[in-house]
Amino acid sequence: MEVSAREMKRTPRAIEVKLRPLGVVVEKRAALHTTTTEAKSKSLLSNEQALKVLVVV
């Protein structure tokens, strides 16, 4: 998440906020230092559509 945020010149928190309306919840697991995502919605955007939403700010 941090690498993606850095490449898009956004904070990791900003990326999480943008992903929430898309139905994606980011879980942080401190013990393993990894992140996982879980789809909460049946109508998810394609990767290209989600990237457009993240970049347009």
pLDDT in tens, 36-47: 666 666 677 777
The pLDDT value recorded for residue 46 is 77
List the beta bridge partners of residue 38: 25
Q: For 35-42, which contacts have Cβ atoms below 8 Å and span 24 or more sequence positions?
A: 35/1
Comparing 42 with 51, which gets the higher pLDDT?
Answer: 51
Model confidence pLDDT, tens digit, residues 15-26: 888 888 888 877
pLDDT at position 3 over 70: yes
Within 8 A by CB and 6+ apart from 5, the residues are 11, 12, 14, 15
pTM of the model: 0.43
Provide the residue ranges of all domains of the chain, joining segments of one domain with +: 2-55
